[in-house]
Structure 1
Amino acid sequence: MELVEGETTIEDVGEFVAWLDGIGDDHDCTIQAFDARYVVSRAHLARALELADRARERGEAVARDRGVEVMLYAAGRRQIDRALECGVREGRGPVVVLVAADGADDPVQAERAAASAVGAELDQCGTLGDYDPERVRAYFDIADPELDATDAGLEALVLERVALLDVEK
């Protein structure tokens, strides 16, 4: 898995997603873009990818598309419409783009090439770890009592939401 971080201006979400899909098709990779304000860490997306792939292997995936399944896990949601809230939107903003090989002969090279193509069009800068805590808490429904009851912190609670999606099926 490669992650590409940066800022970009998206004039049309459909065109942006189609552009990413084209790069993915060219390199045998799944490419999924997220609004970086909802992504708490690299581990957040790595765990979402791992669980999405496991669900697909078991025939338990909700979505037909691997990228959408990853989005569902990253969002901790079974409803696609609700999960898309943590995806990209029109306007300028921080993004993190997940690139994961999908059947490529040389997965490492495929991911690097696809990530390079995506990165060439972003204003690259660090976005991971620069999430909005209040936005994340509201989205993942993490209230003060829950946060106060643990020493683990917000990232751990988000990772728990990602993992609990399997239980909710």
Structure 2
Amino acid sequence: MRLYQGEIYIENVKEFLKKLPDGCVLVNADYVVDIESLGFAVNKALKSWQEGKRISRSLSMEILLHISATRQINRAVKIGVGEGENRVIVVDLNDCSELLRKHGFREGQVLQMDEEKISRLKEFYEIADEELDMVGEEKLGMLVRERMALFAASK
């Protein structure tokens, strides 16, 4: 598994996603607290997949479900790509980097934390202000991983 960051412009999401092999997942960087949390979720998804305890029909969707810590596909796709310019973290299980470059992917740092992103993550992962105040913003990744672990354990 390889995780890398960058930007890509997508004109038609459905057509673009059809070209990607299963196991090549682009995650909206605005919903990724840190690489450690992303790797944690991907490993949980791979374990579920290998043990036959999967939720979805595709490995890519299984990964998105674990990253988003939900069984709801419509909620999980919110953390995927959209039309236009996308800042993404790529989960690459099938060496799709060359294919992505052919479609205009530019590798580079896109993970950054600001108040808007913290607010978005708190809302998406249903983290209460009191919970974050108790542990501090530097532990936001831990709270997100906790949601992911609870999701994986509840299947």
Give ranges in structure 2 of 5+ residues lacking alignment.
none
Q: Which moved more, 1:73-82 or 1:143-152?
A: 143-152
Note the alpha carbon deviations across 1:78-120, whole angstroms, 9 max, x for none.
111111111111121211111014xxxxxxxxx3xx2243245
Which residue in the other structure is 1:163 paired with? 149
**What is the distance in 2 between the residues matched to 1:45 and 1:117?**
22
Q: What's the RMSD between the two structures over aligned residues?
A: 1.8
Which residue in the other structure is 2:49 paired with? 56
Equivalent runs, 1:34-113 vs 2, <5 Å: 34-101=27-94, 111=95
Note the alpha carbon deviations across 1:117-147, whole angstroms, 9 max, x for none.
3245212221134472111111111121010
Tell me how far 1:168 sits from its aligned partner: 2.8
**What is the distance in 2 between the residues matched to 1:134 and 1:82?**
17
Q: Which moved more, 1:68-77 or 1:10-19?
A: 10-19
Which residue in the other structure is 2:128 paired with? 143
Q: Secondary structure at the match of 1:82?
A: helix
Q: 1:48·1:70 contact (CA, 8 Å) conserved in 2?
A: yes
TM-score (norm 2): 0.87
**Structure 1 116/44 Cα, relative in aligned 2: closer, same or farther at 3 Å?**
farther
Q: Which moved more, 1:62-71 or 1:114-123?
A: 114-123
TM-score (norm 1): 0.81
Percent sequence identity over aligned pairs: 32
Counterpart residue identity of residue 56, structure 1: W
Which residue in the other structure is 1:154 paired with? 140
Which residue in the other structure is 2:105 paired with? 122
Q: 1:3·1:115 contact (CA, 8 Å) conserved in 2?
A: no
Q: 1:140·1:158 contact (CA, 8 Å) conserved in 2?
A: yes
Counterpart residue identity of residue 156, structure 1: M
Note the alpha carbon deviations across 1:16-71, whole angstroms, 9 max, x for none.
211222xx6xxxxx101111100111112211111111112222110121111010
